Structures are given as structure tokens and as C-alpha cells.
């Protein structure tokens, strides 16, 4: 059966104290809205409708950029969760299948939970996701009669006995889309908050002879983000889950809690990730690689057997072939480094290609930027680039060539040649000793005068 996600994301998120709409604050480097949009991937939702309000244009950009098929509807006044769902009515006209309502600020609902809700729909018209709260606080309360959910009571409207219930509403709802929108149309706002409560569909539905039930999940899944402390807590939860998943899949991390991962990080088995490594967006590391301590990687690919760091920085477009070595204090950007090549110490390699088996000495810099344009450096195979060589791009070093230490290379070097581009050394016999004598005498005479 087809599924449509309706993601509520219109709220201001006042307690975030931010100019950015709440749902655009990142967890694992991507807006929490994207976590919500990716919820229930195994149900392969045919439609994703996002109800935006505050910062709707920004929300639209982010959502569309992630999934061009995402649809945005705008709720210009936030009159309640039921009113928010009503905004999806036009978009869903003629849609046949179930609708699942999610909150954009509740990013951890698992796939498995939505599967169970979907399955529960076989015997019930309305399925609500509940959880047993350690501290039920201000959550809506689920009033059960055996297997049947008779109604949901918002905290503000609840009497003392109802407030004693610890089975709470997560906000996630699953029902046939047409049925849901029919029920929504009947909502009233005669309650403590003066809002159109989505939660009232249960009572209205039951009065019409529909059945409702609750599926429960662990409270950790329903974590909602309202303030920055919760955002930080959510980040920590996400990180520990991702680390656990990588460890399970065969990645070695002696100090997992110090490794920071991104939403899309991919690491192959038998790869070693040492402590304090940070992964930015779009990093893939193949099996059997080593990422040593304090390295920072983003937008790069590391092949089998490669060793990176300690203290290396791989920036977007860095592609390391098998058994490449990138050592300490080396920065690589937009560069393809072929099999077995080494850049081991204190270098900058940007907009470059390095052939297999080449060795780039300490302190080498590809001077790729003239202040206006970027230029490319091409280094062939089995090249030896002497320490402290400045490669002024555009420039090409042929296969099996060599540059002398300290050279400033401005012209291409043909294959097999040695390029020396530095002032020739001259030794002046005894000069240093004579000069030191003179200077020391001068210092001694000045000391006497004072
Ligand atoms: C809601 C539930 C409550 C549940 C709790 C779980 C209702 C009436 N209450 O309460 O039972 O225990 O969530 O966290 O549904 N939103 C809009 N437009 C609106 C109002 C809200 O898009 O007009 C969005 C918000 O941005 C937010 C979500 O809906 O992402 C939930 O709204 P919020 O006001 O936080 O609901 P609660 O009062 O917490
Ligand atoms: Ca809330």
C-alpha cells in the first residue's frame, strides 16, 4: 500500500533562541528535518509533504535540495497540529493509501516502529504511536480501554487522574489519508490552548464507529528537540548509534566516543579509526584503511590499505587510491593520488594529480591559486618531489622525474629529468668565523661602556 508522510515543521521553535528555523538545526551535519524526511525509508513513501511556516522559504530549499520530489505546503498561522495536517488536504486529493504524520523536530522514530504502526492498521483505522514516559510532564496522555485507544487528552485539558497516566502521545499518527483528512475537517478548537488538536481525531473517529489503537516504542525514539541542550543530547544519541553500527559492521575504533561521524559516513570493515577523528560530509573509506588520530576528512574517498594522518586534513575532492600514505600536517584538496604515492609531511596538495609510486617530500606546496584563478599541478608516476618544492601551477612533472629540494618550479619538467630551480650555493672560506669574532668584540665593548 502507498504511504504519504506528512511532516509538521511550521513551528517557530522559540526556545532554540535562533534565527534559523528549528527544523533546520543540524544533527550529524544535516538538518533534523532531513532525518524526519528519511524516516520510514523501508515503507518507500510515495509522497513527502512538509508543512512549513516559520522560515518556509529556507525549509523549502533544504527539503527540495535533499529530495526534489518533496512537497511543501505553507501553514501561515500556527493554529495547532490538526490545522497543520489540514494544510496537506489539497496535495493529497485523490491519494489512495495511508498517511503518516511525523514531527520535523522528532528525528529518531525508527523504521521498525513505523513498520509496526503500518501493520497495526490491518485491524484499526487509526494508529497512534505512544511511549511510556519516565517523566510524562506535559505530554498528551493516551487513555486506553484494553487494546482500544479511546482518546488522547492534552496535558492542559487533563484532570488529575488522567495526568497520572504515563502512556504518552509521541505525535506520530497513521491512518488512511482520506479518513484522516475527513476527521481533521471536523476538529474544533474549544480547548485549553484554543488550538486545533490533531489528537482529537481519536475521539471523533470513535464516535463515527472507527477503531483506534496505540503502538508503543522506546522513549528514546520520541525525543523531541525544543532547545539547544536537547539538540546536543540528540547529537550524542545519534553519534553513539552510528558508532555502534560501525563497530558492529567490523570497523575498529579503540576510542569510539571520540570519533565524530556524519550522517552519510561510510567506512569499510577492518578499517582502523584512531581517536579524535572527525568525519564531515561525503566521506567513504574502503576496507582495511587506517585513519590515524586527529585527522579531519570531508568530501573524500580513501581506498583500501591507505594510511591517513595523524593530523591530516582531507578536503572535498581528495581521492586516495590503494596504499596511498598521507602523513601529519598534510592538507589535500581536489586531488587524485594514485596507488602507493606518499605525501608524508607538512604539505599542501590542491587541484593536483599525483601518479602511482611518487614521493612528495616534506613541506611541498602546490601553488594552485594566483589570486583569481585556480590552476592544476600534474605529477607523473614514480616522481620524487624534493622537500620544500614550490610547484607553481599550472605545471606538469613527467614520469620518473625529480625536483631538487627547495626548488620553485614554474616550468614543466620532462620525464626523467632533474629540475633544479634555486640559487647555486657558494661557500666563503672562514667568513663566518671572522664575522662572529667581530660581532662578539663589538658586544663586549658596548657592555663596558654601560
Ligand atoms: C504535541 C501533541 C501531544 C504530544 C506531543 C509530543 C497535539 C495537540 N499534541 O504537543 O499530545 O504528547 O506533541 O511531543 O498534537 N506544529 C505545526 N503547526 C502548528 C502546531 C505545531 O507545524 O500549528 C508542529 C511543530 O512545529 C512541532 C509539532 O507540530 O514540530 C508539534 O507541535 P507542538 O506545539 O510542539 O506540540 P505539543 O504541544 O508539544
Ligand atoms: Ca513539542
> What pLDDT score was predicted for residue 341?
99
Region 299-313: what's the mean pLDDT?
Answer: 98
> What pLDDT score was predicted for residue 12?
85
Residues 6+ apart with CB under 8 A from 363: 345, 346, 347, 387, 388
Which residue of 20, 52, 88, 171 sits with most ligand 1 atoms within 8 Å of its CB, as the best mutation to test the pocket?
171
- What is the residue with the minimal CA distance to atom 32 of ligand 1? 81
**Distance (Å) from CA 81 to ligand 1 centroid:** 5
**Distance (Å) from CA 31 to ligand 1 centroid:** 19
Residue 1 has pLDDT above 90, yes or no: no
- For residue 443, the SS3 value is helix
Contact 355, 399 (CB under 8 A): yes
Per-residue buried b or exposed e for 265-294, using 16+ beta carbons within 10 Å of the residue's own CB: bebbeebebbebbbbbebbbbbebbbbbbb
Residue 450 has pLDDT above 90, yes or no: no
User: How does residue 152 score in pLDDT terms, banded at 50, 70 and 90?
Assistant: very high
Residue 449 has pLDDT above 90, yes or no: no
Report field, pTM of the whole predicted structure over 0.95: no
Q: Among this protein's residues, is 54 annotated catalytic?
A: no
Region 440-450: what's the mean pLDDT?
Answer: 92
User: Which protein residues touch ligand 1 with a CB less than 6 Å away?
Assistant: 8-11, 51, 53, 75, 78-81, 83-84, 103-105, 139-140, 152, 154, 168-171, 197-199, 224
Catalytic residue chosen out of the listed positions 260, 262, 345, 375? 345
Residue 350 has pLDDT above 90, yes or no: yes
User: How does residue 18 score in pLDDT terms, banded at 50, 70 and 90?
Assistant: very high
- What is the residue with the minimal CA distance to atom 28 of ligand 1? 103
**Distance (Å) from CA 10 to ligand 1 centroid:** 10
- E strands, 211-306, where? 212-216, 266-267, 272-273, 278-279, 284-285, 290-291, 296-297, 301-302
User: How does residue 8 score in pLDDT terms, banded at 50, 70 and 90?
Assistant: very high
Atom of ligand 1 nearest to the CA of 13: 26
pLDDT-above-90 percentage for the chain:
98
Mean residue pLDDT across the chain = 97
> What pLDDT score was predicted for residue 30?
98
**Distance (Å) from CA 266 to ligand 1 centroid:** 34
**Distance (Å) from CA 106 to ligand 2 centroid:** 9
Amino acid at each position: 500500500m502507498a504511504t504519504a508522510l506528512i511532516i509538521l515543521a511550521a513551528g517557530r521553535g522559540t526556545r532554540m533562541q535562533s534565527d534559523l528555523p528549528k527544523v533546520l538545526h543540524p544533527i550529524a551535519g544535516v538538518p533534523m528535518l532531513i532525518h524526519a524526511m528519511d524516516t520510514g525509508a523501508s515503507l518507500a513513501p510515495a509522497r513527502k509533504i512538509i508543512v512549513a511556516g516559520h522560515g518556509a522559504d529556507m525549509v523549502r530549499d533544504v527539503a527540495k535540495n535533499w529530495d526534489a520530489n518533496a512537497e511543501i505546503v505553507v501553514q501561515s498561522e500556527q493554529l495547532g497540529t490538526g490545522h497543520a495536517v489540514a494544510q496537506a488536504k489539497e496535495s493529497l486529493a485523490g491519494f489512495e493509501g495511508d498517511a503518516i504524520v511525523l514531527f520535523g523536530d522528532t528525528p529518531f522514530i525508527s523504521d521498525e516502529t513505523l513498520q509496526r504502526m503500518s501493520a497495526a492498521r490491518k485491524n484499526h483505522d487509526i494508529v497512534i504511536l505512544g511511549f511510556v514516559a519516565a517523566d510524562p510532564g506535559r505530554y498528551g496522555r493516551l487513555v486506553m480501554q484494553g487494546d482500544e485507544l479511546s482518546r488522547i487528552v492534552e496535558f492542559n485539558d487533563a484532570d488529575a487522574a488522567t495526568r497520572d497516566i504515563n502512556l504518552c502521545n509521541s505525535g506520530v499518527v497513521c491512518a488512511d489519508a482520506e479518513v484522516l483528512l475527513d476527521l481533521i475537517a471536523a476538529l474544533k478548537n474549544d480547548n485549553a490552548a484554543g488550538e486545533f488538536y490533531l489528537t482529537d481525531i481519536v475521539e471523533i473517529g470513535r464516535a463515527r464507529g472507527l477503531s483506534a489503537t496505540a503502538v508503543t516504542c522506546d522513549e528514546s525514539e520520541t525525543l523531541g528537540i525544543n532547545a539547544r541542550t536537547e539538540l546536543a543530547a540528540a547529537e550524542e544519541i545519534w553519534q553513539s548509534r552510528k558508532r555502534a553500527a560501525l563497530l558492529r559492521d567490523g570497523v575498529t575504533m579503540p576510542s569510539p566516543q571520540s570519533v565524530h561521524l556524519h550522517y552519510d559516513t561510510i567506512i569499510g570493515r577492518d578499517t582502523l579509526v584512531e581517536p579524535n577523528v572527525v568525519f564531515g560530509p561525503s566521506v567513504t573509506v574502503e576496507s582495511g584503511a587506517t585513519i590515524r588520530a586527529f585527522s579531519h576528512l570531508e568530501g573524500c574517498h580513501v581506498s583500501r590499505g591507505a594510511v591517513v594522518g595523524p593530523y591530516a586534513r582531507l578536503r572535498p575532492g581528495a581521492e586516495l587510491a590503494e596504499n596511498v600514505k598521507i602523513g601529519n600536517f598534510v592538507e589535500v584538496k581536489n586531488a587524485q593520488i594514485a596507488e602507493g604515492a606518499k605525501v608524508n609531511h607538512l604539505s599542501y596538495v590542491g587541484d593536483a594529480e599525483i601518479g602511482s609510486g611518487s614521493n612528495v617530500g616534506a613541506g611541498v606546496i602546490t601553488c594552485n591559486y594566483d589570486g583569481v584563478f585556480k590552476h592544476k599541478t600534474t605529477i607523473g608516476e614514480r616522481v620524487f618531489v624534493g622537500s620544500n618544492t614550490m610547484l607553481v601551477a599550472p605545471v606538469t612533472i613527467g614520469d620518473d622525474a625529480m625536483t631538487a629540494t627547495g626548488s620553485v618550479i614554474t616550468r614543466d619538467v620532462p620525464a626523467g629529468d632533474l629540475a633544479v630551480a634555486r640559487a647555486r650555493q657558494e661557500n666563503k672560506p672562514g667568513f663566518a668565523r671572522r664575522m662572529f669574532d667581530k660581532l662578539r668584540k663589538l658586544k663586549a665593548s658596548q657592555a663596558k661602556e654601560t
